[in-house]
Structure 1
Amino acid sequence: MEDFVQLLKKLSEARGPSGFEDEVREVVIREMEPYVDEVVVDKWGNVIGVKRGSSDYRAMVAAHIDEIGLVVDHIEKEGYLRFRPIGGWNEVTLVSQRVWVRTSDGRWIRGVVGSLPPHVTPSGREREAPEIKDLYIDIGVYSREEAEKLGVTVGSVVVLDREFAVLNGKVVTGKAFDDRVGVAVMLYALRMLEKLPVTLYAVATVQEEVGLRGASVAAERINPHYALALDTTIAADVPGVGERLHVTKLGKGPAIKVLDGGRGGLFIAHPGLRDHIVKLARELGIPYQMEVLYGGTTDAMAIAFRREGVPAAVISVPTRYIHSPVEVLDVEDAVNAAKLLKATLERTTPEIVEKFLDKRVK
Structure 2
Amino acid sequence: MLLEKLCNSSAPSGYEGDTRNLIKDELKKMDIDFCIDKMGNVLAKKENNQTLKIMIAAHMDEVGLIITSYNSDGTLKFSVLGNIDKSSLPCKVVLIGKNKIKGVIGLKPIHLQSKEDRNRSVSLDDLCIDIGAESEKQARKVVDLGDFVVFNIAFEKFSDNMVKSKALNDRIGCAVLLEILKENYDCDLYVSFNVQENIGERGAFGSVYNVKPDIFILVDTICSDNLIDMNYASDCLEIEKGIIIPFKAGISIFDRETVKYIRNVAEKENIQYQKIAGTKCDGQSIAAEVTGQGTKAAAVLIPCRYMNSAVSMCNLDDYYNVIKLLRKYLESF
Residues 172-215 of structure 1, C-alpha deviations (whole Å, 9 max, x = no match): 10111011111111112222x23x12111111100000011111
Residue 80 of structure 2 corresponds to which residue in structure 1?
85
After the TM superposition, which residues 1-362 of structure 1 pair with which residues of structure 2 at under 5 Å, given as runs?
6-35=1-30, 37-53=32-48, 55-102=50-97, 106-126=98-118, 128-150=120-142, 152-191=143-182, 193-194=183-184, 196-244=185-233, 247-261=236-250, 266-347=251-332, 349=333
CA RMSD of aligned residues (A): 1.7
Residues 209-230 of structure 1, C-alpha deviations (whole Å, 9 max, x = no match): 0011111001111111111010
Aligned residues of 2:166 and 2:309 also touching (Cα < 8 A): yes
Residues 314-362 of structure 1, C-alpha deviations (whole Å, 9 max, x = no match): 0001111101122111101111011111112222x3xxxxxxxxxxxxx
SS in 1 for 2:61: coil
Letter in 1 for 2:319: A
Question: What CA distance in whole angstroms lies between the structure 2 residues aligned with 1:166 and 1:340?
Answer: 23
Deviation of the 1:298 alpha carbon: 2.0
Letter in 1 for 2:45: V
Unaligned runs of 5+ residues in structure 2 are: none
The worse-fitting range, judged by mean Cα deviation, of 7-16 and 28-37 is 28-37
Deviation of the 1:124 alpha carbon: 4.8
Residues 44-98 of structure 1, C-alpha deviations (whole Å, 9 max, x = no match): 1111111123514211111000001111121112221111111101012111001
Residues 125, 8 of structure 1: alpha-carbon distance in 2 compared, 3 angstrom cutoff: same
Unaligned runs of 5+ residues in structure 1 are: 1-5, 350-362
Question: What CA distance in whole angstroms lies between the structure 2 residues aligned with 1:293 and 1:82?
Answer: 39
Residues 246, 15 of structure 1: alpha-carbon distance in 2 compared, 3 angstrom cutoff: farther
Question: What CA distance in whole angstroms lies between the structure 2 residues aligned with 1:13 and 1:124?
Answer: 39
Residues 307, 39 of structure 1: alpha-carbon distance in 2 compared, 3 angstrom cutoff: closer
Deviation of the 1:42 alpha carbon: 1.1
**How many residues were matched structurally?**
333
Runs of 4+ aligned structure 1 residues displaced above 4 Å come to none
Question: What CA distance in whole angstroms lies between the structure 1 residues aligned with 2:159 and 2:117?
Answer: 37
Letter in 2 for 1:92: S
Question: What CA distance in whole angstroms lies between the structure 2 residues aligned with 1:293 and 1:278?
Answer: 14
Question: What CA distance in whole angstroms lies between the structure 2 residues aligned with 1:132 and 1:292?
Answer: 36
Question: What CA distance in whole angstroms lies between the structure 1 residues aligned with 2:139 and 2:96?
Answer: 11
Residues 258-278 of structure 1, C-alpha deviations (whole Å, 9 max, x = no match): 2222xxxx1121111111101
Percent identity (aligned): 29
Residues 223, 177 of structure 1: alpha-carbon distance in 2 compared, 3 angstrom cutoff: same
Question: What CA distance in whole angstroms lies between the structure 2 residues aligned with 1:334 and 1:307?
Answer: 27
Residues 293, 57 of structure 1: alpha-carbon distance in 2 compared, 3 angstrom cutoff: closer
Aligned residues of 1:237 and 1:246 also touching (Cα < 8 A): no
> So what's the TM-score if we normalise by structure 2?
0.95
Letter in 1 for 2:73: E
SS in 2 for 1:40: strand
SS in 1 for 2:48: coil
Residues 292, 68 of structure 1: alpha-carbon distance in 2 compared, 3 angstrom cutoff: farther
Residues 65, 156 of structure 1: alpha-carbon distance in 2 compared, 3 angstrom cutoff: same
Letter in 2 for 1:80: T
Aligned residues of 1:93 and 1:324 also touching (Cα < 8 A): yes
Deviation of the 1:39 alpha carbon: 1.4
SS in 2 for 1:70: strand
> So what's the TM-score if we normalise by structure 1?
0.87
SS in 2 for 1:302: helix
